[in-house]
Amino acid sequence: MGTLLIALVAGVGFIIAYHTYGRWLGTKVFELSADAVCPSCRLNDGSDYVPTPKMVVFGHHFTSIAGTGPIVGPAIAIMWGWLPALLWVIFGSIFIGAVHDFGALVVSLRNNGQTVGDIAGRVLNRRVRFLFLLVLFMSLTIVLAIFGLVIAAVFRQYPATIFPCTVQIPIALVIGLWLHRRGVGLLWPSVIALVVMYLTVVYGNWGILHAINSTMAGWSVMTWVVLLLAYSYVASVLPVWMLLQPRDYINSLQLISALGLIVVGLAWAAFAGGAPPIEGAARPELRIVAPLWQFDPVDAPIIFPFLFITIACGAISGFHCLVSSGTSSKQLTNEADARFVGYGSMLTEGFLATLVILACVAGIGLGVTAKDGGVLVGEQAWLARYASWGMAAGLGAKVGAFVDGSANFLKALGVPTHVAVALMGVLVASFAGTTLDTACRLQRYVVQELAATFAPRVLRSACGACGYDLSFNVSGQCPQCQGPVDHGSANPVAQPNGVSINPLVWLTNKHAATVFAVTIAAVIAAFPAPGRPWSVANLGQGGMILWPMFGATNQLLGGLSFLVISFYLWRRGKPIWFLVLPMLFMLVMPAWAMLIQLRGWTGQDSPNYPLIVLAIATLALEVWMIIEAVLLFPKIKGVIEEPPAWPGGVESAAADVLRPSRS
């Protein structure tokens, strides 16, 4: 009963927080207004800026921010005890993570849907904008390089998830076209999509599909990385309503319903016990079999600051500010819905992380398969996965602990083992997939913003390829690069054939920026993991070179996002006291963790120099941005920054360079 009580108290606590603290933030601090015109309506381009029902935006936002973070983080952090992990998830979600996501979404809504990094250039200064964009670029590069490996690992561990996850793409395309072209309501498309997806889970590993899944599970990691990055490119450049939105939305239906099943299974197991671990055995009692706290696990780092780095997405994650300000702010049609999407999604993710903790500390005790083929229950089942930090730290171990524990909740309801395991595996892989395609789109925005920053600032009458002034040219051809000139437009701009001569101008185009983003990620991923020899089997694991610092970098990004939100409010004379402690906490803890990691990395016999250089550069960028902020803070209270210089969007940011066409 204790396990069920924890789930109920956490769920009720999140609901109360939404209707109290979340309401106060929305009405008193951000002063949300249903009469405000959102960027999606004012700048509707049918591609990135698209007015969208709030439930669809919620689905996109929730699945994009969740990823595997709220699963793998809590699944390892319980090594320090389930109580510290649970407290950080609950209070971190309510007072830090949800505030961060909500604030980033509102600030972006009021700045033409620009990213937090871009907004930093006006609420702080241009140097901070550039530094912030560099941090975003590094973080997203790591995500793109590693998530192919993550998804491939899940597919190899649970082959039955391959077909259900793959078929989501055509289902999403059909749903997207159906909703967009016919303008129908959400009910029937939602019901049909949900039923079809659950059927693919139940029957997606039968007959010939089993053979196909097994074959694809044997593909090399690099093969999966290339395929997934190619898919990410397509999802990034297609209009958001065609693939990204509907896939995230239908995924959210499946994932949230699966969470509902976990809660029902947990409740049933609390009263009736789990499914018999072997035929004829008694139903085991559902109880917590992990230690309450354990501040010195075998081989584990110290709990402070690493607990707050290990559990990121389940409490707060800097990556979320990119989703809030990169995609969700371009889709909301009503500013008042920002609380539901920004604050509500993070609380939902916090509840997911709570269920992960309960699955790993109680559900796993209902029975797991031992190495010798037998079945372990109770404390022995937990120790089989968590005897030491090294045993629990691998991706397979963390995912496996959650899948086995949560599947045990479903099995208590009578769900067949293969269906329960497949459904939980699909949940993990789907979260990772939706994060990957959203991250690719976000990286495209960042690349375009960086390119537009350094592209030559020329007149509208300049050649789009080389920047040559064509104001008085009547020949129809640029004398500098020989490109054709379109004198029929109001502001003549040469339309270059093929690739632009200036690479920075070229990267302001969404296709070129996306190709650049996935190419960089693929090159990094192509390396073998540290300490592994060059071989076909090891290709695709290169993201592991930089992955050890992602946790700290990601959390640092959250602190820097708080900095931007604070300056936005401070300039308007709004209270920021509720942001000060979260901001300082998320600036200090990641830096502290990275310094400890740096000492370990530099002391190795074979130091990972790319990792060390990137960590030092990140810390230097943080210090630089904080100095800029401290110097500026006393001067700008009540001084409103200049409005966005561009009429909207990343591509229009480069409009003064070459006026790229929209699709």
**CB 335, CB 32: distance < 8 Å:** yes
Indicate the average pLDDT of the chain.
88
List, in sequence order, every beta strand (DSSP E) within 252-334.
none
What is the mean pLDDT of the segment spanning 300-311?
A: 94
pLDDT tens digits for range 386-415: 989 988 888 888 999 999 999 999 999 999
Residue 35: closest CA among 357, 477, 418, 334: 334
What is the mean pLDDT of the segment spanning 594-622?
A: 90
Q: Residue 450: its pLDDT value, please?
A: 87
Give domain status of residue 598, yes or no: no
What is the mean pLDDT of the segment spanning 25-48?
A: 94
* pLDDT cut 70: percent of the chain above it: 90
Give domain status of residue 239, yes or no: yes
Distance between CA 140 and CA 543 in Å, rounded? 11
**CB 363, CB 405: distance < 8 Å:** yes
364 phi, psi to nearest 5 deg: -65, -25
Give domain status of residue 477, yes or no: no
Give domain status of residue 496, yes or no: no
Count of C-beta atoms within a 10 Å radius of residue 27 = 12
Domain that holds residue 118: 2-451
Question: Is the pLDDT at 160 greater than 90, yes or no?
Answer: yes
Distance between CA 342 and CA 617 in Å, rounded? 31
Name 102's Cβ contacts closer than 8 Å, sequence gap at least 6: 22, 25, 26, 30, 324, 338, 339, 342, 343, 346
Question: Is the pLDDT at 660 greater than 60, yes or no?
Answer: no
pLDDT tens digits for range 246-275: 999 999 999 999 999 999 999 999 999 999
pLDDT tens digits for range 78-135: 999 999 999 999 999 999 999 999 999 999 999 999 999 889 988 998 888 888 888 8
Q: Residue 392: its pLDDT value, please?
A: 85
- Give the confidence band of 289 by pLDDT, cuts at 50, 70, 90: very high
- Give the confidence band of 481 by pLDDT, cuts at 50, 70, 90: low
Give domain status of residue 471, yes or no: no
- Give the confidence band of 483 by pLDDT, cuts at 50, 70, 90: low
pLDDT tens digits for range 310-362: 999 999 999 999 999 999 999 999 999 999 999 999 999 999 999 999 999 99
Highest mean pLDDT among 212-216, 489-493, 612-616: 212-216
pLDDT tens digits for range 422-457: 999 999 999 999 999 999 999 999 998 888 777 655
Give domain status of residue 22, yes or no: yes
**CB 494, CB 470: distance < 8 Å:** yes
Distance between CA 102 and CA 24 in Å, rounded? 12
List, in sequence order, every beta strand (DSSP E) within 258-372.
368-369
What is the mean pLDDT of the segment spanning 16-33?
A: 97
- DSSP string covering 114-166: --HHHHHHHHT-HHHHHHHHHHHHHHHHHHHHHHHHHHHHHHHH-GGGHHHHH
pLDDT tens digits for range 528-553: 888 788 888 788 888 888 888 889 99
* Cα 499–chain centre separation: 32
Distance between CA 359 and CA 14 in Å, rounded? 19
DSSP assigned state of 462: B
Question: Is the pLDDT at 524 greater than 60, yes or no?
Answer: yes
Give domain status of residue 597, yes or no: no
Our count of domains for the chain comes to: 1
pLDDT tens digits for range 191-248: 999 999 999 999 999 999 999 999 999 999 999 999 999 999 999 999 999 999 999 9
- Give the confidence band of 652 by pLDDT, cuts at 50, 70, 90: very low
- Give the confidence band of 366 by pLDDT, cuts at 50, 70, 90: very high
Amino acid at 346: M
Q: Residue 645: its pLDDT value, please?
A: 55
**CB 104, CB 332: distance < 8 Å:** no
Name 566's Cβ contacts closer than 8 Å, sequence gap at least 6: 576, 579, 580, 583
Q: Is 21 exposed, middle or buried (0-12, 13-18, 19+ CB in 10 A)?
A: middle
What is the mean pLDDT of the segment spanning 609-634?
A: 91
Q: Residue 479: its pLDDT value, please?
A: 58
Question: Is the pLDDT at 469 greater than 90, yes or no?
Answer: no
Q: Is 439 exposed, middle or buried (0-12, 13-18, 19+ CB in 10 A)?
A: buried
Highest mean pLDDT among 79-88, 469-478, 638-647: 79-88
* pLDDT cut 90: percent of the chain above it: 71
What is the mean pLDDT of the segment spanning 500-516?
A: 80
Q: Residue 465: its pLDDT value, please?
A: 60
Question: Is the pLDDT at 491 greater than 50, yes or no?
Answer: no
**CB 658, CB 505: distance < 8 Å:** yes
Distance between CA 596 and CA 218 in Å, rounded? 38
- Give the confidence band of 654 by pLDDT, cuts at 50, 70, 90: very low
Give domain status of residue 273, yes or no: yes
**CB 254, CB 329: distance < 8 Å:** no
**CB 258, CB 333: distance < 8 Å:** no
Give residue for tokens 């699955």. 359
